[in-house]
Amino acid sequence: EVEKLKEREDILLGFHDILGKSKKMQSLFHVIKEVAGHNTNILIQGESGTGKELIARAIHRQGNRSNRSFVDVNCAAIPGTLLESELFGYEAGAFTDARKRKIGLLEYATGGTILLDEIGEMNIHIQAKFLRMLEDGHIRRLGGNEPIPIDVRFIFSTNRDLNRMVAEGTFREDLYYRISVVPITIPPLRERTEDILILARYYLEEFNGKFKKKVKGFAQDAERILTSYQWPGNVRELKNIIERIMILHGDGETISVESLPAEMRSIANHEQFRIQIDNVLPRLASDGIDFSSVTERMTNDIKRQIIENTLEMSRGNKTEAAKRLGISRFKLIREQKKIANHACASRARNVL
């Protein structure tokens, strides 16, 4: 089922593993198709979790180097001095531990594509050397003098504002213009809400297959929350949350609001609070309201929701929850009792 869903989405969108029907994503797919066949430098920009590596791989697969290697280098994960030797390689004796020659990643990727992820983390010294390589079309290994031609398609990505870094002097302006011949910006998930449920259902089916479950889908109120949530971690966060839900969720059931994480359920609480206000306003225009009673009930609802969510984040540990709330454990317990007593009193009044 997962493979069929993938094939169906591939036909619809044209790119394996990249889903989106929104205008922003369709525009992005069009740009990818246009640039994939050219060897020009591409800079992919976007927040963490938006899928920059997936876009880079899609460009590689669509291009004329698809049958050659795709090398992904995370500049943020490799210390500056080590990054230089990893990229350019070195000759035996170039430094203390260089006992034999090592081919760098730029040589290894010859004929293929290399993605320099988080290019904004590359230090100024290596930026200068990298710029020289882009201009000359060849490298020299550390400790070597022989120029080695480089035939690589370069794709760069970053979640940082390189323009600001250029202004601050932490990123070379000449290198910036070299790497951003074709800039591609991936929109954050919150700006393409029509894609959220496509992705959520896709990952649900993927994890149904992985965990051998038959979870039916999402309840309408859960879908409403999924599309209302801001997704600060973007597609990566969505995938991780769906995986967590699927691990803990019962087989054959529909995913309800209660299955969603606490930080997402707060959206439902906010909606419920707004509904309460909407119910009160018409009564103001007719019979009026008992202001003290209404505001007390709404205040208690807010307190209850905050305490419940905080306790869940703290895995039921009241001491930790109290610390998060900035109150003592004693006060937390007292507030819980007050809220419970108020709820009992409200139910009693409704019965009478």
The correct answer on CATH 3.30.70.100 for the domain covering 23-186 is no
Spell out where the chain has E strands: 42-45, 70-74, 113-117, 138-139, 148-149, 153-158, 182-185, 217-218, 254-255
pLDDT of residue 253: 85
Average pLDDT score, the chain: 85
* pLDDT classification of 343: cutoffs 50, 70, 90: low
Q: What is the pLDDT of residues 187-225, one digit of tens each?
A: 999 999 999 999 999 999 999 999 999 998 999 989 988
Nearest to 155 by CA among 39, 62, 28, 48: 39
Q: What is the pLDDT of residues 228-261, one digit of tens each?
A: 888 999 999 999 999 999 998 888 889 998 888 8
pLDDT of residue 339: 80
Q: What is the pLDDT of residues 268-315, one digit of tens each?
A: 555 554 544 555 555 555 555 556 666 666 677 777 777 877 887 788
Q: Given CA atoms 183, 159, 198, 1 in this order, what sign does their dihedral have? A: positive
Q: Which residue has the higher pLDDT, 177 or 252?
A: 177
Name 351's Cβ contacts closer than 8 Å, sequence gap at least 6. none
pLDDT of residue 90: 86
Q: Which residue ranges make up each domain of the chain?
A: 23-186, 193-199+216-351
Asked if pLDDT for residue 159 goes beyond 70, the answer is: yes
Residues paired with residue 156 on neighbouring β-strands, in sequence order? 43, 116
Q: What is the pLDDT of residues 107-124, one digit of tens each?
A: 999 999 999 999 999 999
Q: What is the pTM of this model?
A: 0.74
In this structure, the number of other CB atoms found within 10 A of the CB of residue 174 comes to 12
Asked if pLDDT for residue 80 goes beyond 90, the answer is: no
pLDDT of residue 352: 45
